[in-house]
Amino acid sequence: MYKNNSVFGSVYLSNGLFQINLDPDFSESLLSIHTNVGTKRTSFNENSAYLWHKRLGHISRDIIERLIKEGIIRTLDWSNFSDCVDCIKGKQTKHTKKGSTRSTQLLEIIHTDICGHFDVPSIGGEIYIITFIDDFSQYCTLYLLNDKFQSVNAVEVYISEVERQLGKKVKIIRLDRGGCNNHHFLT
pLDDT digits 0-9 by tens, 5-51: 777 788 888 888 888 787 776 655 554 444 444 444 456 677 888 88
- The confidence band for 98, taking pLDDT boundaries of 50, 70 and 90, is low
Q: What is the pLDDT of residue 99?
A: 63
Q: Which residues contact 7 (CB under 8 A, 6 or more apart)?
A: 1, 23
Q: Which residue has the higher pLDDT, 121 or 80?
A: 121
Residue 3 in 3-state DSSP? strand
| CA contacts within 13 A on the Cβ side of 39 | 0
> Structure pTM?
0.44
- The confidence band for 128, taking pLDDT boundaries of 50, 70 and 90, is very high
Give the whole-angstrom CA distance, residue 154 versus residue 144.
Answer: 9
Q: What is the pLDDT of residue 186?
A: 40
Give the whole-angstrom CA distance, residue 32 versus residue 23.
Answer: 15
- The confidence band for 90, taking pLDDT boundaries of 50, 70 and 90, is confident
- The confidence band for 54, taking pLDDT boundaries of 50, 70 and 90, is confident
Please provide the CATH number assigned to the domain covering 109-186.
3.30.420.10
Residues of the chain with CATH 3.30.420.10: 109-186
Q: What is the pLDDT of residue 153?
A: 93
Please give the average per-residue pLDDT across 62-72, as a whole number.
87
